[in-house]
A and B are shown apart, each in its own frame.
Chain A
């Protein structure tokens, strides 16, 4: 079996993305988590550029550039600034049962591959085998959001989920139409700013960024 070099490169990027998703799931330090998020963006951007090169879809170069700008430079920079200002840079989250979470994550990956199998058979793109990984990283980010109790890691999980969706769009269809991609990028950026404001509001109201304090609004 002879797989072209670019396809091998794309597959390697996909494998890296899955690895990073697992690393984020188990990472307890906030600073490292943000760095992992930046790394995920970088791998995503490289793989998009490789897809663009191998299929000569020129608009994908633009997407890759946008990803590089937004998810590797801008968002991590904002997050770094925020955690410095909020003085949570060296925070370590206490998480229990990391092995159990990893096992649940493994089950999710199997589930994602099964779910993606019928779709990727229909896809005509060279990236079709990576669709399963894209779905898996969406689900893993989702799991990460559920298992975290601090505000910043939850947001990183949210952004990582968006990365996974972007990867799904590239691998299934070579990316969404440009106008939609720009709109999504705008939403992510505005969302980040609003969340930034929000972190400060949460800290003023609860004296901490730990969401465990938020348990007042419940149905009894």
Chain B
């Protein structure tokens, strides 16, 4: 029943806002819908944490500790982003960049996008998982081109085609998975259900499954933004409206990585080797290194943080690829803190760009002087994402690095160089933006900064002290995915 509400509210919200999205209070309605989704997902989380995993609706839906943590995170960041988008979109409208009809499209698609992500997380059917991932692309593609500028349309086209082709590979992988499963489980509906597959994973044909995994990794990996399939990501982040960049970076990439991890569990069972992990480590390491070196060449602030997302997604993929209790725990913690921190940074960056009238970093100066809250938000967020203690990103990165040092010492030079280069590149630029002289003007509406500081406070808390129930919850999830 909880699942029904978690999925039903955003789906309904999409249609309600399509109908009433032109009203003045549509942004409040959007926030209320997201808040209801959050409440429903908290109820669901409480039930799963207290009484364990369960399936619903003829086993079509499945909740365990691993996906419910992502459901809660998705609903939470979805809610705070809807709070942020209220003043942000008003200012954009004030600047004449958006019309009322564009806003209606935005609100409606925002709710449907939340729906597709939650569906991808909650479904038990690997085929529906694919359908939901494709639908997530479809709902965001018009959001990326919302401003209708040539650059944004180009970014959206690239996003659509690259992710579409990528996901076609994942569909082929899913077909192969079904092909292997059908032999054991028989034809029909149950052969793609993850719980059934998980129960018989040791009997699945290894050659077919390894081929299926390669296709799924390439397919969903395109959506995670793994190098060399990342080309769509910086463009889509830089050209779309900032709330969309925040949810793309903070949520969608996580959901795509979730799909990869779910497939990895099956392949590991069938092969009994580290085949899938090696692939993930390779792609992850490549992404970290490549992103770090592209970071230092960026001029657009949103592009720079988009590359930082590629770097962090690479790090998570690497962690899940290593496997084992510590690395998997760290991977999940990193998913949480990265999505909180990165969305907070995008909130601050969005307002900073609105104030300066440009996204180019050389045009953004002296944020602390003219609007201290935006400046401090950006400065603290940057310190957090760069892995400075005492923020939570430090904890997870430290755990990933120490595990890698023990198990795969040869990766150390790559990882440390990449993290060092990224630190130097981002820190230098953000310092210039935050301090320095400026003649910026005030925003026509007060900015939304509560979400920024709430996110950063949570990240700080996770760095200082992980509450025992949360640690137990992560450990439960770790045991599930191994």
A interface residues with partner B (beta carbon < 8 Å): 118-119, 122-124, 138, 142, 145, 151, 154, 158, 161-162, 165, 168-169, 172-174, 176-180, 183-184, 186-187, 190-191, 194-195, 197-198, 201-202, 204-206, 211, 213-214, 216-217, 219-220
The A interface is mostly helix, strand or loop, or mixed, namely helix
Q: Do A145 and B157 contact each other (CB < 8 Å), given the known contacts A122-B205, A173-B182, A177-B192?
A: no
List A contacts of B125 (CB < 8 A): 177, 179-180
Contact B171 A165 (CB under 8 A): yes
Query: A146: shortest Cβ distance to chain B, in Å?
Result: 9
A206 touching B175, Cβ below 8 Å: no
Known contacts A201-B153, A205-B153, A138 near B160 by CB under 8 Å = no
B205 surroundings in chain A (CB, below 8 A): 122
Contact of B142 among A124, A158, A174, A194 (CB under 8 A): A194
Q: Which residues from A are CB-within-8-Å of B175?
A: 165, 168-169, 172-173, 176
8 closest residue pairs by CB, A with B: A180-B127, A183-B131, A214-B154, A205-B150, A187-B134, A217-B235, A172-B179, A177-B189
If A216-B150, A219-B294 are given as contacts, then 16 extra A-B residue pairs at C-beta distance below 8 Å, sorted by A number, are A122-B208, A124-B183, A138-B172, A161-B165, A168-B175, A173-B178, A176-B127, A177-B188, A179-B127, A180-B127, A180-B192, A183-B128, A190-B138, A194-B142, A201-B153, A206-B150
Does B155 interact with chain A (Cβ within 8 Å)? yes
Residues on A with C-beta less than 8 A from B161 are 145, 154, 158
How far in angstroms is the closest Cβ of chain A from B34? 22
Assembled-state Cα–Cα distance A187/B60 (Å): 19
Q: Does B45 contact A (CB under 8 A)?
A: no
Q: In the complex, which range does the number of interface residues on chain B fall in?
A: 35 or more
- Residue among A162, A168, A173, A217 making CB contact with B158, cutoff 8 Å: A217
Residue B83, interface by CB 8 Å: no
- Asked if B154 and A184 sit within 8 Å, CB to CB, the answer is no
Chain B positions near chain A (C-beta within 8 angstroms): 60, 125, 127-128, 130-131, 134-135, 138, 141-142, 145, 148-151, 153-158, 160-161, 164-165, 168, 171-172, 174-176, 178-179, 182-183, 187-189, 191-192, 205, 207-208, 211, 235, 239, 294, 297
CA separation between A205 and B145, bound complex, in Å? 11
- Give me 24 A-to-B residue pairs in the complex whose CB atoms sit less than 8 angstroms apart, sorted by A's number: A122-B179, A122-B183, A145-B161, A154-B161, A158-B161, A168-B172, A172-B175, A173-B182, A174-B187, A176-B127, A177-B191, A179-B60, A180-B130, A180-B192, A183-B127, A191-B134, A194-B142, A198-B142, A205-B148, A205-B149, A206-B150, A211-B157, A214-B157, A220-B297
Q: Which chain B residues lie closer than 8 Å to A191 at the CB level?
A: 134, 138, 164
Known contacts A165-B172, A173-B175: A217-B207 contact under CB 8 Å: no
Q: How far is the CA of A195 from the CA of B159 in the complex (A)?
A: 12
- Do residues A217 and B172 form an inter-chain contact, with CB atoms below 8 A? no
Interchain CB contact under 8 A, B179 and A119: yes
B156 lies within 8 A of A176 (CB): no
A136 → chain B, closest Cβ, in Å? 13
Q: Using CB atoms, name the residue of chain A closest to B191.
A: A177
Distance of A201 Cα from B174 Cα, bound (Å):
33
Contacts known (A180-B131, A184-B131); A119 close to B171, Cβ less than 8 A: no
Give every chain B residue within 8 A of A179 (Cβ-Cβ). 60, 125, 127-128, 189
With contact pairs A177-B188, A183-B128, A195-B160 given, residues A201 and B145 touching in the complex (Cβ less than 8 Å): yes
